């Protein structure tokens, strides 16, 4: 049976397939910039008794031409798995007449090292097929603890949190993601919160995330935030993001027990400069008083 943790790692790519392009750019992998991404049927069954189902199958169109991306989530090494991967690659190549790339998502370095292969199929005298997956895991996905980076790219920050479930610094990674979720649309935030919880499963990181969300989900559902989101939908996403950032600054200060005077609150909520609000949000994480937010760095 497929676990919810396994399900979450490829659902992220299904809901936000563009995240792979940004991940590859960050890792300096030799793939051209995607022009469009299309989700294809993931059922590769050909013979009735034999079911073959890849986690996610995407068609990526680039300036250099299209290719297929198969996404698999792998929680442990499995000596039988590479034969299934070989089948997937050969089948989609024959079916779509496009070159495929197999992307495997892992949560620990040992599994990632195993999944990278390469896997040889054929007798020792002559290799008939080589399976060489591209692996994303804690060894090459950056742990995102910088709030500005997380706010700018929530899907990649979510992938970072899931792949670094066993990282000693997972607390900071999860706190950064939780704060970043406060700056986006409520519906999107709840989806990313759910994906993160599913991806972390019953691990210690999952427990930390559920504790964070016990507090932060009240933020999403509060009357003030409901009003802000309703206004954002009618006034446009750009304005909604600014208001979400202002609310996130105040939320961070409140969480850290820093008193906010009325004039300071008005200054924050009336600000319409997203970049300035982001800088205040960065400083709020370590500020001793609200005065620290407004110090101009030379």
- Name the DSSP letter for residue 289: S
pTM above 0.85, yes or no: no
Q: How far apart are CA 187 and CA 88, in angstroms?
A: 34
What is the per-residue DSSP string for 130-180?
EE--EEESTTTS-----HHHHHH-HHHHHHHHHHTTT-TTHHHHHHHHHHH
Query: Sorting pLDDT into bands at 50, 70 and 90, what band is 22?
Result: confident
Q: Identify the CA nearest to 157 among candidates 134, 135, 188.
A: 188
Task: List, for residues 99-136, the tens digit of each pLDDT value.
Answer: 999 999 899 999 999 999 999 999 888 999 999 999 99
More confident residue, 278 or 157: 157
Highest mean pLDDT of the ranges 10-24, 46-60, 63-77: 63-77
Encoded tokens for 116: 């990278």
């Amino acid at each position: 049976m497929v676990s919810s943790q396994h399900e979450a790692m490829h659902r992220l790519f299904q809901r936000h397939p563009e995240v792979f392009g940004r991940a590859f750019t960050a890792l300096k992998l030799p793939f051209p910039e995607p022009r469009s991404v299309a989700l294809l049927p993931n059922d590769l069954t050909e013979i009735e008794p034999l079911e073959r189902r890849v986690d996610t199958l995407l068609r990526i169109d680039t300036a250099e031409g299209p290719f297929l991306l198969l996404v698999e989530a792998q929680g442990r090494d499995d000596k039988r798995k590479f034969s299934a991967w070989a089948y997937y690659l050969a089948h989609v190549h024959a079916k779509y007449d496009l070159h495929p790339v197999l992307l495997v998502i892992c949560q620990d370095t040992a599994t990632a090292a195993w999944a990278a292969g390469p896997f040889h199929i054929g007798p020792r005298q002559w290799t008939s097929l080589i399976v060489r997956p591209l692996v994303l895991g804690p060894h090459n996905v950056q742990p995102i603890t910088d709030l500005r980076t997380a706010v700018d790219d929530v899907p990649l920050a979510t992938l970072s949190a899931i792949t670094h479930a066993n990282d000693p610094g997972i607390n900071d990674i999860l706190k950064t993601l939780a704060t970043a979720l406060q700056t986006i649309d409520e519906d999107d935030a709840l989806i990313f919160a759910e994906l993160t919880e599913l991806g972390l499963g019953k691990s210690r990181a999952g427990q930390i995330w559920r504790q964070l969300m016990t507090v932060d989900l009240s933020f999403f559902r509060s009357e003030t935030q409901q009003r802000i989101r309703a206004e954002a939908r009618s006034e446009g996403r750009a304005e909604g993001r600014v208001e979400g950032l202002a609310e996130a600054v105040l939320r961070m200060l409140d969480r850290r027990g820093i008193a906010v005077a009325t004039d300071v609150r008005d200054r924050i909520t009336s600000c319409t400069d997203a970049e300035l609000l982001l800088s205040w949000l960065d400083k709020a994480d370590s500020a001793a008083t609200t005065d620290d937010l407004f110090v101009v760095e030379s």
